[in-house]
Amino acid sequence: MRRAFAHHGQAFDVLIACDNAVPHLLSDADILDAFRAFYRCVKPGGGCLITVRDYDREVRTGVQVKPYGIREQDGSTYLVFQVWVFEGALYDLSMYFVRDDGGSEGVAHIFRTRYYAVSPNRLVELLQEAGFHHVRRVDGEYYQPVILGSR
Q: Would you say residue 8 has pLDDT above 80?
A: no
Spatial distance between the Cα atoms of 70 and 7, rounded to a whole number of angstroms:
40
42 CB-contact burial (10 Å; exposed 0-12 / middle 13-18 / buried 19+): buried
**3-state percent breakdown (helix, strand, coil) of the chain, nearest 5:** 25, 45, 30
Q: What is the mean pLDDT of residues 19-37?
A: 96
**Strands across the sheet containing 76-87:** 63-73, 76-87, 90-100, 107-116
**DSSP string across 112-125:** EEEEE---HHHHHH
**DSSP string across 69-106:** EEEEETTEEEEEEEEEEEETTEEEEEEEEEEE-SSS--
Q: Would you say residue 4 has pLDDT above 90?
A: no
User: Residue 107 is inside which H or E element, if any?
Assistant: strand 107-116
The CA distances from residue 97 to 2, 37, 50, 78, 117, in Å, are: 31, 35, 27, 6, 23
Give strand pairing partners of 110: 96
Share of residues in the chain with pLDDT > 70 (%) = 98
pLDDT tens profile 33-78: 999 999 999 999 999 999 999 999 999 999 999 999 999 999 999 9
pTM: 0.88
* Confidence (pLDDT) at 70: 97
Q: Would you say residue 116 has pLDDT above 90?
A: yes
Query: Is the CB of residue 89 less than 8 Å from the CB of residue 66?
Result: no
- In which band, very low, low, confident or very high, does the pLDDT at 2 lie, cut at 50, 70 and 90? low
* Confidence (pLDDT) at 138: 97
* Domains of the chain, each with CATH number or no CATH: 4-54+117-150 (3.40.50.150), 59-116 (2.20.130)
Q: What is the mean pLDDT of residues 11-22?
A: 93
* Confidence (pLDDT) at 28: 98
Spatial distance between the Cα atoms of 39 and 64, rounded to a whole number of angstroms:
35
pLDDT tens profile 120-143: 999 999 999 999 999 999 999 999
